[in-house]
Amino acid sequence: MISIKTQQSQQPYTENKVNLFRGFLLHLVTYQYSYTLPRCDLFITITVILISYGVPEKIVNIIQNSYDGPQCKVVHGGQLTDAFQVRTGVRQGCLLSPFLFLLVVDWIMKTSTSEGKHGIQWTARNQLDDLDFADDLALLSRTHEQMQMKTASVTAVSASVGLSIHKGKTKVLKFKAENNNPITLDGETLENVESFTYLGSIIDEQGGSDADVKARIGKVRTAFLQLENIWNSRQLSTNIK
């Protein structure tokens, strides 16, 4: 039920997509690793988000109650410390935590891009504003002005749920862009890069796949050469090799 309501940019595959863009700006966003809001405030926000995605109130209450006044102990010097309350963030190691985080990220992107069309043309009717995989976000815009507005919007909405963008790890890549002015975040200039590895694939300012294919061939060649002793072994049969 919830996956139907999430953005298509959160889904791994979509059909009937055509590449209609000529030039664009790619903004690769990296979040800090934890929520900064107190847990009571954080779950007020998460509760609203869960309800907006159609999660039944009964399930929302169960999730909320599971976070009501939790206490933890840690092992130090071979002994357990006294119990203490956890007042921020979600539970580490909990199977529900990644799911809640993905919903929050999806809500951030929906809210940030709801007021205008600042993405690239993806089909005749639709624009693509972002690509999301867990906490790896790629913002897409046709112009410098649109990307600057989108960056500010995503930053503000993220801050409202206690998430902050890591400026040092956030990069901007421009493909056939007319405006070479830098993108800024809270007054700081974000780094422009000529290439970036996103989900294991190399994306560069040329817009093709040559760099990625070359890198993959290089990795295969390296792995092959590391097995040179096996290839030259007289004790191993050809079938085993």
Considering all CA atoms of the chain, what is the largest pairwise distance in Å, rounded to the nearest integer?
68
Considering the domain architecture, whether residues 83 and 130 belong to the same structural domain is answered as yes
Whether residue 170 is predicted with pLDDT greater than 50 in this model: the reply is yes
Considering the domain architecture, whether residues 213 and 200 belong to the same structural domain is answered as no
Considering the domain architecture, whether residues 130 and 21 belong to the same structural domain is answered as yes
- Which band of pLDDT confidence, cut at 50, 70 and 90, is reported for residue 13? very low
> Which segment, 19-33, 136-150, 164-178, 217-231, is predicted with the most confidence on average?
217-231
**Residue 39's pLDDT is what?**
57
Considering the domain architecture, whether residues 235 and 138 belong to the same structural domain is answered as no
Considering the domain architecture, whether residues 76 and 156 belong to the same structural domain is answered as yes
- Which band of pLDDT confidence, cut at 50, 70 and 90, is reported for residue 218? very high
The set of residues, in sequence order, having a beta carbon less than 8 Å from that of 195 and lying 6+ positions away, is 173, 202, 203, 204, 205, 211
Domain coverage including residue 33: 2-204
**Residue 216's pLDDT is what?**
93
Considering the domain architecture, whether residues 174 and 225 belong to the same structural domain is answered as no
What pLDDT digit, counting tens, does each position of 81-120 carry?
888 777 666 667 778 888 888 888 889 888 888 776 678 8
**Residue 203's pLDDT is what?**
84
More confident site: 44 or 41: 44
Packed helices 96-112 and 39-52: angle between N→C axes, nearest 10 degrees: 70
**Residue 8's pLDDT is what?**
57
Number of domains in the chain: 2
Considering the domain architecture, whether residues 109 and 8 belong to the same structural domain is answered as yes
